[in-house]
Amino acid sequence: MKSLPAALVAIALFAAAPACAQVGPLPAQPAVVPLPLGALTPIAVRDAGFAAANDGKTFGLGIDTAEVGKVLVAGGGKAERVELGVTALLVRISGHVVLIDTGLGTGAKGVLVDSLAKAGVKPADITDILISHGHFDHVGGLVGADGKPVFAKAVVRMTAGEWASIKGAATNASLVAAIGPSVQTFAPGARLFPGITAVAIDGHTPGHSGYEIESRGHKLLAIGDMAHSHIISLARPEWNIAFDSDHAAANATRRRVLTQLAASHELVFAPHFPFPGFGRIVVNDDGFAWVPVTK
Ligand SMILES: [Zn+2]
């Protein structure tokens, strides 16, 4: 009997692994969820899912994985991995069609463009893209498989610090070449449109920014990667997360912003919380918890 080529054996073993062992980007069905906000209707636009193993390398650095698993299970998750969503936010405001972040991109299982179609929006309709930060799960959707900008008519806006950080990484050369002519930078906290203001949320990346959307006294804060897991990031805000570039700043910011959000009851959009990522923060013991809002 012939032996199987090693590559086929590897594929067979991978296929036989239980689904719960999968980590990295995960496929998702295209979907959109609108949320009324005063006179506006922001729309959550699904791109993908993402999973990270509870192996001590991503969430809870330096914390025993059994302890991390306990927190995950107490919050309704699985002990062996941290599950995230990857979601963008669409806002039609003041004559602009604004997209906040762009997901992983089609090359990495992203379905953002198919989800936008469900909202009746074509890529060429997008006038402005607000980038929270330059990680691949937020800027991946900017460039198509052909190397060209997906949102051909959009101005790509981000903080000057974040653009400098993106340009400083050699691995971003093709991204920088593709979007460079479309990028316009702003200072942290800048008012971008009537109804959308940038909010400096420090620690995740050098120029990380949230975006606050306001209409008729109703507010929604798009938090970017201030918090990743709706369980761990809220229950244990001071646990180090590998994705944060400055742990001390990110942890302090997380505690401060979560405290403010719990006190104000302001609506939140969190791109990595379970789709659609709309909800509110509440105090829970020494940490916080997530209360999803669907309408
Ligand atoms: Zn992210």
Instruction: Report CA(6)–ligand 1 centroid distance (Å).
Output: 35
Query: What DSSP string runs through 184-202?
Result: EEE-TT-EEETTEEEEE--
Classified as helix, coil or strand, 157 is strand
Instruction: Report CA(36)–ligand 1 centroid distance (Å).
Output: 25
Instruction: Please give the residue range of the domain that contains residue 255.
Output: 21-292
Q: What is the DSSP letter of 143?
A: B
Instruction: Report CA(138)–ligand 1 centroid distance (Å).
Output: 6
Read off the amino acid at residue 75. G
CATH number at residue 59: 3.60.15.10
Neighbours of ion ligand 1 (CB under 5 A): 137, 225
For residue 126, tell me if it sits in a domain: yes
Instruction: Report CA(12)–ligand 1 centroid distance (Å).
Output: 31
pLDDT band for 231, please (50, 70, 90 cuts). Answer: very high
Instruction: Report CA(272)–ligand 1 centroid distance (Å).
Output: 7
For residue 246, tell me if it sits in a domain: yes
For residue 12, tell me if it sits in a domain: no
Read off the amino acid at residue 36. P
Residue 7 has pLDDT above 60, yes or no: no
The pLDDT assigned to 108 comes to 79
Q: Count helices and strands (H / E) in the chain.
A: 8, 15
For residue 149, tell me if it sits in a domain: yes
Average of pLDDT values for 154-175? Answer: 97
For residue 4, tell me if it sits in a domain: no
176-229: pLDDT as tens digits? 999 999 999 999 999 999 999 999 999 999 999 999 999 999 999 999 999 999
For residue 98, tell me if it sits in a domain: yes
Instruction: Report CA(122)–ligand 1 centroid distance (Å).
Output: 24
Residues counted in the chain = 295
For residue 10, tell me if it sits in a domain: no
pLDDT band for 13, please (50, 70, 90 cuts). Answer: very low
CA distance 238 to 171: 30
pLDDT band for 120, please (50, 70, 90 cuts). Answer: very high
241-294: pLDDT as tens digits? 999 999 999 999 999 999 999 999 999 999 999 999 999 999 999 999 999 998
- The pTM of the full predicted model, rounded to 2 decimals, is 0.92
Q: What is the DSSP letter of 61?
A: T
CA dihedral 4, 7, 11, 14 (to 10 degrees): 110
Task: State the total domains in the chain.
Answer: 1
Residue 2 has pLDDT above 50, yes or no: no
For residue 154, tell me if it sits in a domain: yes
Residue 117 has pLDDT above 80, yes or no: yes
CA distance 275 to 295: 13
Instruction: Report CA(92)–ligand 1 centroid distance (Å).
Output: 23
Instruction: Report CA(209)–ligand 1 centroid distance (Å).
Output: 12
Q: What angle do CA 165, 129, 25 make, to 5 degrees?
A: 70
Residue 117: name the closest of 46, 203, 219, 36 by CA: 46
**246: alpha, beta or left? (left if phi > 0; alpha if psi -120 to 50):** beta
Q: Which helix (H) or strand (E) holds 53?
A: strand 43-53
Mean pLDDT of the chain: 92
Average of pLDDT values for 22-41? Answer: 94
